[in-house]
Amino acid sequence: MKHICLLTGCAALLAGLLLAAAPASAFCVYNKTDEEIHVYQWSGNRFSHGFSRDIKPGERACCNWKDKDCNKKGHKHSIVTFVVSKYNTGVKHDCSDVKVKAGGWMDVYKRHDGFRCTAHD
């Protein structure tokens, strides 16, 4: 009986680890700066009606890649494009035309002259 409980506990732990390592079901933008940022989707030469968020330092914002408001094609490997600027300025875009797979994520880092945005699959 003791061995069955031990095996059950190990199986539950293993299942939890596998679920934690499972592929993401959303694209996310991580703010790794010390400033609030504004991130929105860009679609050619017009604004998309999809993802548009203000993200505080150290936080993230996500949207499920299956959500047609954020990913019109609805495929995990579709490309979504973003613009990142300082919160509430809208004047200077520190990262423009950043392409991210709908199942991926983007990190935004502080740089001496603005931000650096890095896309990941």
| Residue range 64-95, pLDDT digits in tens | 999 888 888 889 999 999 989 887 665 667 88
For the domain bounded by 25-120, which CATH number is listed?
A: 2.60.40
Q: CB 41: neighbour CB atoms within 10 A?
A: 21
Q: Is the pTM of this model over 0.85?
A: no
| Residue range 90-120, pLDDT digits in tens | 566 788 889 999 999 999 999 887 899 999 9
Distance (Å, whole) CA 35 – CA 23: 29
pLDDT reported for residue 73: 87
Listed by start position, the domains of the chain span 25-120
pLDDT reported for residue 21: 36
- Tokens 């190990």 locate to 10
